[in-house]
Structure 1
């Protein structure tokens, strides 16, 4: 299991949560995104799935998600972000699979280069690397 989702969701597979391994997540449609980040150099190419697709898959119904990471980082993200922007959960960067040593296996990526408003530091806090949990509230 690399990602658990709980809270206000209607589709679960482990008690009150939905738990996913990499194979399960690979069934979501793959998207690519080229963007700069505040923590890497230059333009990077990311591959993964849209966060809104995952939330729809589990029947999320709320106003925000609380995202948690392997390193105990926690941040609240408005659900509107995922519908206003093509926010990606990246599994690969520049053709390489993300690993826990390098921000993986899952990293929330915003299309920062496509929207000047996303270059605000408030959005930088929402780029959760080593993502391992979402709670829908």
Structure 2
């Protein structure tokens, strides 16, 4: 920074230094995610820019609860009656991790894997369900997390393709 005569003074250098420090701090804060206080229930890795454990973004249940929540009731092939699921939208979880990519591999606790196109998260209100019928889901009941599509909202979602993109006992999202 220069004054009207083109000289740099101590005040101008100080202002420039404060500006650089503020930008650096803002950038550092934008690249980190709070650390989980409880057990980790979801890890997002690969193309993520907001991390809290090395190059990964890890979430405990409280962190997922803090994200905006969405509920819907839908018929699924796994239950005889419609079920109400509640949790953050997949796109909000991806945004919280600063995830960018073209494919998501959802990995379950038993190592089941399914591929989900990244744009499914923006095209459909896919949720990372943490509640089923207003109750947490134990592992034996497909929990604690379940990627679920709103099957009853569009005919195209009521197909094997989208049923296969759902993943119960979700533990990891690998972004590529």
Q: Which has the higher contact order (CA 8 A, sep 6+)?
A: 1
Mapped to 1, the partners of 2:47 and 2:83 lie a distance apart of: 33
Aligned counterparts, 1:66-77, within 5 A: 66-77=105-116
Runs of 4+ in structure 1 deviating by more than 2 angstroms, as ranges, are none
> Does residue 1:104 correspond to 2:143, yes or no?
yes
> Does residue 1:114 correspond to 2:129, yes or no?
no
Coordinate RMSD, CA, aligned = 0.7
User: Structure 1 regions of 5+ residues with no counterpart?
Assistant: none
> Does residue 1:19 correspond to 2:58, yes or no?
yes
Q: Could you say which structure has the larger radius of gyration?
A: 2
Structure 1 length-normalised TM: 0.97
Q: 1:57: how far off?
A: 1.0
Give the helix-richer structure, 1 or 2.
2
> Does residue 1:61 correspond to 2:100, yes or no?
yes
Q: 1:43: how far off?
A: 1.2
User: Structure 2 regions of 5+ residues with no counterpart?
Assistant: 1-39
> Does residue 1:133 correspond to 2:172, yes or no?
yes
